[in-house]
Structure formats: C-alpha cells, structure tokens
A and B are shown apart, each in its own frame.
Chain A
C-alpha cells in the first residue's frame, strides 16, 4: 500500500517538475526577448519602413517585415488549407485503404521533420527552373511546403477521432460520403482543424530559412506577387547579427512583435472556434 502511494506521489512530482522546468526555460527566453526588446519598441518601429542606414542604427521601422510576414503567412495558410483539408479527408478509411493511409502518414511525418532550409532550397530550385525570381509568390510556395505536412497530419488525426458511429449516422440515412463529410466530419472536427491550422501557422510564421532564398528581402512593400518581400524572422536575423547595440535591441523588439502577432491570431481563432462549435457532439 505504502509503495503504491509512493509511486503515485513520485509520478505526481515528476509531472509537476517537468512542467515547471519547461515553464522556467521558456519564461527565461521570453524575459530575455522582452527585457532586451522593450527599450527599442516604439510606434515608429511598427509603422515605418526602414530608412536608409536603418541597419546601421539610423531611423525607421520594420513595417515592411510585419506586413511581409502577414502577406506570406496568410497566403501560405490559404494555399495550405485548400490543399491540406481534402488531403486529410482522403486519408480517412472512407476514401483510402488503411495500408496506403498508414504509408502516407509515415511519409508526411518524415516530411514534417525535414529542416525548412531544404524546402527553401527545393522551392528556389523550382523557381529558377520556372524563371521566377525571389518574390512573395515564391515565399508563399516555399512556406506552404513547410506548413503542409504538419497541417495535413494534424487535420488527419482530429478527423480520425470522430467516432465511427457518428460517421455511420448520416450514411445510414442514405447520405453520400461527401454529405457525411460536410454534415458531420468537418463540423465535429472543426476545433481540431482550427488547431491544426494554428500549429502549421506557428511553424510557418516564424520560419526564416524557407523564405531566405524564395521571398528575398526588401526595404519596400511588395506591389505584386512577383515582387520580393521582407519577413520578420529575416528582419530579426539581419538585425541580431549587427555589432551595434541599438540594432540588436530592435531585433528583440521585432521578435516581440512576431510573438504578439501569433498571440493575436490565436486569440481571434479561439473566439471564432467558440462561435462555430455550438453543435459539436461531446
């Protein structure tokens, strides 16, 4: 009896210890970013384009990178959702043999772990072949490659856990598979699908390597899909390497803006989720 209680206590404290350790490490990261970035955070950083000599400590801001990141990530999320949702549904046993689905899941899991620089390099090679230069379009393409495996697999998992009997209900009424997917799977899995989109967005929005060759970098805003575009991760990367203290501080402030963007996107999504899950079966 005493032994069992000790095991229980050990398990409890191990769990709490892990959680506390993780929270401590990430708190340190956040504290460093905030303490170093906060002194450089001002409205001009958010709303102004970099002026000449900005990376040498002159005036200006990273509005080009903020908007560029929003263009890149919203474009890539849109492309990824359009491709990932049907692909995730296609992996369900209603459409594909379980063996083929398992094999595809394995491939996607491997792709998910592939370094994003690889996607950037492949994207760049394809762009060279097609005669496209570093541009918003190229960045969206490469970022979509980074997001897709994670988005498909996360969507696949949340659709897969919709109970078998719930899928059977519309089919037993004589619905087609498409009607079943629309009426049941998508509605029931909606919160999970949203989480999948956010996970993929989180992976993509902060990624510097995939857009390094494909989107390029510019101090201006893109006028079209074919123009180069700046991004926050690259803005952080370029500034943090500077020997000048004030430029380094702007790097941390830029990272704070990126974190804030992710926070806002998450909050808005969670509010949306509540609106669309009124009918979810629990």
Chain B
C-alpha cells in the first residue's frame, strides 16, 4: 500500500471547482513533482495532503486522502499529528519571529519530542545545508537571514518535527539561482529518507529533480507516471501540449 493515496478528491471554493475527482498514489521514498499551468490546482492538491486547506473557510472538500490506509479527513483523524507526519514548506519562507535556534526547536517543543537540545538544532540545520552559515549566530533573529537561507531554515524547521512526508510548494520560486541549487541538492540528499512532494511550475526543475510526475490541468489530474516515461513519452494530448510549451 502506498504511503499516501488520494481517492475521488474534490475541492470547491464558493462556486469554483478547484479539484475534480483526483485519484492517485504517491510513491514512497522519492521526489514527486506536481506540475501544470498556473491556477490548475497544484497548490490546492498539495495543501489537501496535510489539511492546510482547512484554514480556508470557503473550501469544501469531498473524497479521501489515505495516509497509511486511514482517511485524514475521517472523524477520528487528528490534524495536529497529521501535520507533524506531513510537513509543509511554503513558496515564500516565513521565519517565525524568534531566533534561528528557536525556529528549529519550535516544532519539537510543541510536540513534546524528547530532544530539543542544541545538538538536535545542529543536526537539522546540517541536514538543511545551513549549519556552516549560521553556527556562530544561532541566537540572532531568523528575520535577518537572506531569503535563500530562510528557505533552508524552513526546511530544517520542517525536518525537526521528524515528518515522513515533506510537501513543498514552489520552494525555490522566490530564491536566487545559487540558493535554488543548494535547496535542490538538499532535496536530492533527503529523498531516500522522506517522501517529497514538490509543486513546481518550472519544468526544468521537475526534470532535474523528480522521480515521479503528476500533471494537473484545470483541476483534473491528467497524467502521472515515472519521470522518465512522463517526459519521454507523454500519453495525453494536453500533457504533450504542456511539455512543448503550447500551454503554460
């Protein structure tokens, strides 16, 4: 059974149907890229996987998202432990208004994890590729970091709650090319330990990173499959049009 399975997922905001009957299995231990033109429902699909959509009071959600076989929208589901298991990185990194160190230890502290030590902070900052740049100023405000560093801090913060899945919503779109390279490198290193679901509108990034690709168009899941076959031999006409740049 896959870690995450989406069954007949429909999301509606007011009169607008954002996701239409989406079905797919997210494979474990690899990078899954969700691609598609702007407004096709990529971010909505991603946010539905850890119930961040709940924060939008207009959103009506139908269908199932199964995590280890149990429906995260079911009555017995606990949203706090779900979000601990399924971490989320936003498009623009927002550090919490506290020090670099406290940003990393915030999650472990609220979840009552046994290790909130300096060593734990170092471990996750290293995993996110930020340790060397901040090791001498862990007490300084996180807001003073560059935006590229802030995004890696967001990654360290997400990893520190020991998730199994990392959802990343266009995590490099606000970054400079060097920071993009560093973040992509960290994702490649992390994919053996985590399932990473990445929304991107940059096809080149999906080609560079993804092991599995999901293509969305107008709220529908049009096509999905291993990255190699997806890019080499797309089956659907719309996928071909998207890959050739006819629709964007």
Q: Which residues of A contact B (CB under 8 A)?
A: 93-94, 97-98, 163, 165-176, 179, 183-184, 187-188, 278-282
- Bound-state CA distance A42–B174 (Å) is 62
- Bound-state CA distance A169–B88 (Å) is 8
Contact A173 B84 (CB under 8 A): yes
- Bound-state CA distance A236–B143 (Å) is 48
Decide yes or no: A174 and B84 within 8 Å by CB, A165-B90, A183-B98, A279-B99 being known contacts: yes
A58: min CB distance to chain B, Å: 56
- Bound-state CA distance A281–B95 (Å) is 7
Contact A179 B110 (CB under 8 A): yes
Q: Which residues of B contact A (CB under 8 A)?
A: 50, 52, 55, 57, 80-84, 87-88, 90, 92, 94-99, 106-107, 110-111, 141-143, 154, 157-158, 161
- Bound-state CA distance A179–B110 (Å) is 8
Chain A residues, CB < 8 A from B143: 279-282
B58: min CB distance to chain A, Å: 10
Contact B110 A174 (CB under 8 A): yes
- Bound-state CA distance A97–B57 (Å) is 8
Chain A residues, CB < 8 A from B161: 173-174
Contact B96 A184 (CB under 8 A): yes
* Across the A-B interface, the 7 shortest Cβ-Cβ residue pairs: A174-B83, A172-B88, A174-B84, A187-B97, A173-B107, A279-B97, A279-B141
Instruction: Please tell me which one of the listed residues B87, B110, B111, B142 contacts residue A279 in the complex, with CB atoms under 8 A apart.
Output: B142
Instruction: Please tell me which one of the listed residues B57, B81, B99, B106 contacts residue A170 in the complex, with CB atoms under 8 A apart.
Output: B106
Contact B83 A173 (CB under 8 A): yes
Chain A residues, CB < 8 A from B52: 168, 171-172
Decide yes or no: A175 and B110 within 8 Å by CB, A98-B57, A279-B142, A279-B143 being known contacts: yes
A273: min CB distance to chain B, Å: 14
Chain A residues, CB < 8 A from B157: 173
Nearest to A162 among chain B residues (CB) is B97
Contact B97 A93 (CB under 8 A): no
Most B C-beta atoms less than 10 A away, residue of A97, A166, A173, A176: A173
Contact A172 B87 (CB under 8 A): yes
Contact A188 B87 (CB under 8 A): no
Chain A residues, CB < 8 A from B81: 174
Contact A174 B90 (CB under 8 A): no
Nearest to B108 among chain A residues (CB) is A173
A-B contact pairs, 28 of them (CB 8 A): A97-B57, A165-B90, A165-B94, A166-B96, A168-B52, A168-B94, A169-B94, A169-B154, A170-B96, A172-B83, A172-B90, A173-B106, A173-B107, A173-B158, A174-B80, A174-B111, A174-B161, A175-B80, A175-B106, A176-B80, A183-B96, A184-B97, A187-B98, A279-B98, A279-B99, A280-B97, A280-B143, A281-B97
- Bound-state CA distance A163–B92 (Å) is 11
A36: min CB distance to chain B, Å: 47
Contact A281 B84 (CB under 8 A): no
Contact A163 B87 (CB under 8 A): no
- Bound-state CA distance A205–B110 (Å) is 41
A182: min CB distance to chain B, Å: 10
Nearest to A173 among chain B residues (CB) is B107
- Bound-state CA distance A170–B90 (Å) is 11
Chain A residues, CB < 8 A from B106: 170, 173, 175, 183
Decide yes or no: A171 and B83 within 8 Å by CB, A98-B57, A179-B110, A279-B141 being known contacts: yes
Contact A278 B90 (CB under 8 A): no
A254: min CB distance to chain B, Å: 42
Most B C-beta atoms less than 10 A away, residue of A98, A166, A176, A279: A279
- Bound-state CA distance A282–B95 (Å) is 10
A164: min CB distance to chain B, Å: 8
Instruction: Please tell me which one of the listed residues B80, B90, B141 contacts residue A168 in the complex, with CB atoms under 8 A apart.
Output: B90
B55: min CB distance to chain A, Å: 6
Instruction: Please tell me which one of the listed residues A163, A175, A278 contacts residue B94 in the complex, with CB atoms under 8 A apart.
Output: A163
Chain A residues, CB < 8 A from B94: 163, 165-166, 168-169, 281
- Bound-state CA distance A175–B88 (Å) is 13
B4: min CB distance to chain A, Å: 16
Decide yes or no: A165 and B92 within 8 Å by CB, A279-B97, A279-B98, A279-B99 being known contacts: yes
- Bound-state CA distance A176–B50 (Å) is 14
Chain B residues, CB < 8 A from A166: 94, 96-97
Chain B residues, CB < 8 A from A94: 55
- Bound-state CA distance A173–B50 (Å) is 10
- Bound-state CA distance A187–B141 (Å) is 13
A93: min CB distance to chain B, Å: 7
B233: min CB distance to chain A, Å: 36
- Bound-state CA distance A43–B118 (Å) is 56
Nearest to A164 among chain B residues (CB) is B55
Nearest to A176 among chain B residues (CB) is B80
Chain A residues, CB < 8 A from B141: 278-279
Decide yes or no: A169 and B96 within 8 Å by CB, A174-B107, A174-B110, A174-B111 being known contacts: yes
- Bound-state CA distance A82–B228 (Å) is 61
